[in-house]
Each structure stands twice: as C-alpha cells, then as structure tokens.
Amino acid sequence: MSSYVSLPIFASTLRERYRLEEPRCRSCGTLNVPARMACIECGRGDFDWEKLTGRGRVFTYTVIARGGAPTEFDEQQIMSGSLVVAIVELEEGAKVVAQLTDCDPEEVRVGSPLKAVFRKLYDQEGVVRYGYKFVMDEERE
C-alpha cells in the first residue's frame, strides 16, 4: 500500500498529457490547468477545451538529486542521475508542474523560455506512461 496513480486515473488525463488540451471556463473565462471538475476561479463546471501552445517560462524549479524522486522514477534516475522539475508559467497564464528534459541544470533560470515536448514519463506495470515535459526553447530569449 502506498501512493500510486492507477491506469484509469492516468487515462482520464490523456487529452491533457498527450495534446495539452485544457478546459476554459464558460462562465468566467479562466483556463484550468490541469483540468478540474469545478472552475478554480468561479466554481462552475462548464468548460470549452482548447489546445495550448506549449510555450511558457520557468516560474520556479529544482534539481532533485539521484534517489530523491518518487519510486516511479527509479529507472530514470539510474539513467539520468538528477532530474529537473519546474513550475512552468504557460503563455496562456496558468501554471503547471513538469520535468525539464534535455537541459543542463546550470542553464535553467527563473524566467527561462520553455516549450512542451512529448516524452516518456515512466514505465510501470509494463505500461509506458507518456506525457508532456518541457525543454529550453532555443528559438526564444
């Protein structure tokens, strides 16, 4: 017994994790990322889904030392050593949490431009879980 994200729960977020489609509240226009049942701003529950650009900036970040990540990431940590996690402020305004990949931790700053990419998150129960991570956006400053 411990913490664990079941496959049905994971599957319910595929639209967000695979395509970065997120709901905007019909009543107050607030973008809810990640999606929620009741709007984070006004509490109503009717949304229109839209595709986000995947562009954002580092709001805050950390470099987690090897062995410090949840057990789902044990294999990754053997391969990658430390891992970089950030709160990303999206161009559309909302914030998300995600790994930064293909990046040199020394280069990351609060405010660094990022763009979303499709990567493996982890491998559990013989199932590869895919989703978005972010890389440094080399085309922006």
Partner 1 sequence: MATGIVAHGAYVPKNRLPLEEVRRFWGGLSTPAIKEKAFPSYDEDPVTMGVEAGRQALERSPFGAEELGAIFFATTSGPYEEKPNVSTIASALTGSSRIRVVEMGGSPRAGLQALLSAWEFSASWSKPAMAIASDAPIAHPASSLEHGLGAGAAAFVIGEGEGATTLEAVESISVETFGERFRRRGQSYLQDLELRQDELTGSVLKAIEGLMEGARISLSQVEALVLPDPDGGTPARIAKALGASPEKLLSLTPRIGDTGAASVPLGLIAALEKLEAGKRILVCSYGAGADATSWIMGEASIVSRQRGRSLEDILERGRIRSYGDYLKLRGFLVQKG
Partner 2 sequence: MEVAVIGVGQTSFGTFPKKSLKALFFEAFQEALRDVEKGLDPKEIEEAWIGTLSTGGGQLGNQAALLCETVGLAGVSAHHVENACASGGFAFRNAVMAIRSGRCRVAMAAGIEKMTDLPRERNRLWLGVSGDVEWERLAGTNFPGIYAMLARRHMYEHGTLKEWITGVAVKNHANAVHNPKAQFRFPIDLERAMRAPMLADPLTVFDACGITDGAAVAIVCRADEARRYTDRPVMVMGSGAATDYLAIHDRKDLTGLLAARKAAAQAYKEAGVGPKDIQVAEVHDCFTIAEIMAYEDLGFCEDGQGGFLIRDGLTKLDGPIPVNPSGGLKAKGHPIGATGIGQICEIVHQLRGDVQEPIRQVKGARIGLTHNVGGSGGTAVVHIFRSPE
Binding site for partner 1 (CB under 8 A): 14-15, 18-19, 21, 75-76, 78-81, 99, 101-102, 117-121, 128, 130, 133, 138-139
Number of other CB atoms surrounding residue 125 within 10 Å: 8
Site string for partner 2, 12-51 (x = CB under 8 A): -x--------------------x-----x-----------
Closer to partner 2 by Cβ: residue 110 or 139? 110
Q: Which two structure tokens, joined as six digits, stand for 5?
A: 């994200």
The two three-digit tokens of residue 75, written as one number: 């294999």
What are the residues facing 49 on neighbouring strands?
23
- 8, 9, 128, 138: which one contacts partner 2 (CB under 8 A)? 9
56 to 4, 43, 70: CA distances (angstroms) = 28, 26, 25
Q: Of 29, 43, 45, 68, which one interacts with partner 2 (CB under 8 A)? A: 68
